[in-house]
Structure 1
C-alpha cells in the first residue's frame, strides 16, 4: 500500500472507529507547520471545541512499513487520539486574545534561521547570528506533556501588541517560568546513571575548575537553547566557565559550554558538532552546525569564525603597532645620533680648515 492509499483508508477507518465509540468529533487532514519541520496530520476536534489533536500520518504509515499490521496501526491511532483529547489543557480559548493574561506564559526559543526561513516570515523574531529568537505561549508543561502556541504575526496583530513589546516582555518573563540551568557534564552524567555508578566510574564529583564541558538548558529540558537569548545568560555562563567560552548547539533543547582555555580549537569543535548532528540528533531537534564564541571581556557573542577573524585582525594591528613603535624608536635614536655628530664633525672640519690656512 503506497502512502496516498494508506492516508485515504487510514483517515476513513479512524473516523469510523471513533464514531463507533460514540465520539462526537470532526476529522480532517491538514498540513501542520512547525519550527524545523512540517508534516501531514489527521486533526481530530471534539464538536464545540476549538482545541483538537494532531497525529502525524507519516508516523503511522512508517509503523506499518516496519512490520506492524494495518489494524494495529489504526488501534494505536485511536488510542493516541482518545488520550490526547482527554489530556487536552484546560484553558479558556478566549484568553488567547487577552495579552495581559497570556504574557505571563511567554517564553523564548532559539531555532535555525536557515532551516525555518519560510516560517520566520510569518512569526515575530529577532536574529541572533545564524539563529532566530522566536516566542511561544506555554499553556501547560509537565510530565504528561506540553501544550504551547507559537506567536505568529497574525496573533500578535489580533492582540494589538508590537514586536518590540513582545520581546521586552519575553526577556522579563521567560527566565521566570523557564529559568536557566547550567550544570557540569559530570553532574549531568551522575543524574543520568546515578551518583553511585558515576562515583564508581570516577566521573563524579569533579571540581568546578576541572569541568571540561557544561550543559545549559531549562528545567523541563524542552527548547532549552532559548536561554541563549536571556539577558544575563552569557555572563552566568562565563562565571561557570571561568572566562571566555565556546557554545556548541547540542540541539534546540540544550547547548554545551566549552571553556576557551586553549585545549580545543574551533575546527575541532565544528567537526564535533557536525558529526553529532548528522548521527545523533533528530532533524526536528537540530539547531545549527555552527560553533559560537563569547568574549567575556568585550561582551561579544558571535560565530566562532567571526571570533577567530577578529582575533587575527587584533593580532595584526598589534603587530603593526609594535612595528611602528620599533621604527619610530630607531628613527629617534638616529636623530639623536645625527644631532650629536654634526657638532663633532664641524669642529674637526674647522680644525682641518684652520690648519690648512696655517700651512
Structure 2
C-alpha cells in the first residue's frame, strides 16, 4: 500500500475508531505547508458543533504501518492521538479569533527562516529579523498534549483592521508573559538540575554553553524576537554572545569571551550548526544554518558573516 492508498484507508475508516460523539463527523485530509516549505498531510475531523478542530499529521503513522504495524492498530493510535489533541477547555470560537479585542491577549510569536518560507510568508503578516522572519499565531486552547494554536493570516489581519506593527508589539509582550523564557546551563539539562538564570535573584555561574528557550520548550526560538529578553541575557552574562540556532524550539548561547578563551571561531561554530542540522534536526524544525551575535551595547541581533557557508543555507 502506498501513501496515497494509506491516506484513503484512514479517511474511510477512522470514524470507526473514534468515540461515539464523532459518529456523524466529516473527515478531511489536506496538504498543509509547514516550516521550511515542508508539505504534510493533515487529518481533521469536524464534529457537529465543534468550532476549532485539530490537525494530526499522518507521515509518522504511515512509517509505523510500513514498519509492520497493522492498519487496525494504526487507526486506533491515530484516534487516541486525535482525542488527546482536541481542546478540552475551549477559550475561543471562530468569532473570537476574528475579533482583535477578544484575541489580542493570546497572540504570540514564532520565528522562522525567511528564505525557506517564501510561500508561507506570502499568506501571513510578518516582521523581518535579520534573515529570519517573525510570524504570529493565536493560542486558542489547551489539549492533553499542550497548547493549540492557529496561524494569523493576512485575511485575519485585514478583518482585525490593525497593522503588522500592532500585532508584533502585542505578540512579543504576550509571548514572554504566556511562555516565559528560560536560560539554563547545558550541563544542567544533562544532569536534570536545570536552573533558570533569568529568574530574579538566581546567581549566574559562567558556562561555555547555555540553552535559551521557553518553559514548555516548544517554539522557544521565538525569544529571538524579543530584544528585551536578549538584553537581559547579556546583562546576566555581562557580555555579548553568539547564538547557535539549534532548532525552532531552542537556541544555544555562548558568551563571546568564553568562545575566544576556548578558541571557538565563528566559522567553526557555523560548521557545528550545519553538522547538527544535517544529522540530528528534521528539516521542518531547522531555523538557520549559521550563527548570530547579540551585541550587548547596540542591543542588536545580526548574522555573523564568517559563520555562513558559501553554498545556500539549509539546502543539503
- If the length of structure 2 is used for normalisation, what is the TM-score? 0.84
Provide Cα deviations, 1:17-59, integer angstroms capped at 9, x if missing partner. Answer: 5598862211122112333333112221102322223222322
On the 8 A contact 1:110/1:134 being kept in 2, the answer is yes
With over 3 angstroms needed to count, the CA separation of the structure-2 counterparts of 1:225 and 1:72, relative to structure 1, is same
> What is the CA distance between 1:91 and its match in structure 2?
3.1
Q: Is the 8 A contact 2:26 2:46 kept in 1?
A: yes
Confirm or deny: 8 A CA contact 1:215 1:257 kept in the other structure.
yes
CA-based RMSD of the aligned residues comes to: 2.6
Task: Work out the CA distance in 2 between the residues paired with 1:296 and 1:22.
Answer: 55
Which residue is equivalent to 1:81? 82
Ranges of 4+ aligned residues in structure 1 off by more than 6 Å: 19-22
Give how far 1:233 is off: 2.2
Q: Deviations over 1:204-224 (max 9, x none)?
A: xxx845311121111111111
Asked if 1:138 corresponds to 2:134, the answer is no
Report how many residues are paired: 296
Q: 1:240 aligns with which of 223, 226, 236?
A: 236
1:217 to 205, 213, 218: 213
Corresponding residue for residue 155 of structure 2: 154
SS at match of 2:246: strand
Larger Rg: 1
Distance 2:91 2:307 in 1: 47
Change (3 A) 1:232 1:25: same
Quick one: distance in 2 between partners of 1:174 and 1:22? 34
Q: Are the aligned partners of 1:184 and 1:208 in contact in 2 as well (CA < 8 Å)?
A: no
Structure 2 CA distance, aligned partners of 1:20 and 1:250?
43
Contact between 1:32 and 1:39, CA under 8 Å: does it hold in 2? yes
Matching of residues 299-314 of structure 1 within 5 Å = 299-305=299-305
- Structure 2 distance, partners of 1:67, 1:14, is 19
CA contact (8 A) 1:241 1:258 kept: no
Q: How far is 1:75 from its partner?
A: 2.1
Q: Would you say the 8 A contact 1:107–1:174 is kept in 2?
A: yes
Q: 1:12: how far off?
A: 1.1
Can you give the 5+ residue segments of structure 1 that lack an aligned partner in the other structure?
196-206, 309-359
Q: 1:142 to 1:40 in 2, by over 3 A?
A: closer
Q: TM-score, normalised by structure 1?
A: 0.75
Report the CA distance shift for 1:184/1:247 in structure 2 as closer, same or farther (over 3 A).
same
**In the aligned structure 2, how far is the partner of 1:146 from the partner of 1:86?**
9
Residue 25 of structure 2 corresponds to residue 7 of structure 1:
no
Moved more, 242-251 or 140-149: 140-149
Per-residue CA deviation, residues 104-151 of structure 1 (Å, 9 max, x unaligned), is: 112111111122111011111111122111111112357632201111
Hey, which of these two has a bigger chunk of helix by percent? 1
Q: Distance in 1 between matches of 2:126 and 2:20?
A: 45
In structure 2, the partner of 1:296 is 296
Matches within 5 A, 1:276-295: 276-295=276-295
Q: Contact 1:216 / 1:257 at 8 angstroms: preserved in 2?
A: yes
* 223-232 or 54-63, which deviates more: 54-63
Higher relative contact order (CA 8 A, sep 6+): 2
User: 2:192 aligns to what SS in structure 1?
Assistant: helix
SS of 2:168 mapped into structure 1:
helix
Contact map agreement 2:88 2:143 (CA 8 A) in 1: no
- Structure 2 residues not aligned, in runs of 5+: 196-202, 309-316
The structure-2 alpha-carbon separation of the partners of 1:75 and 1:142, relative to structure 1 and needing over 3 Å to count, comes to: closer
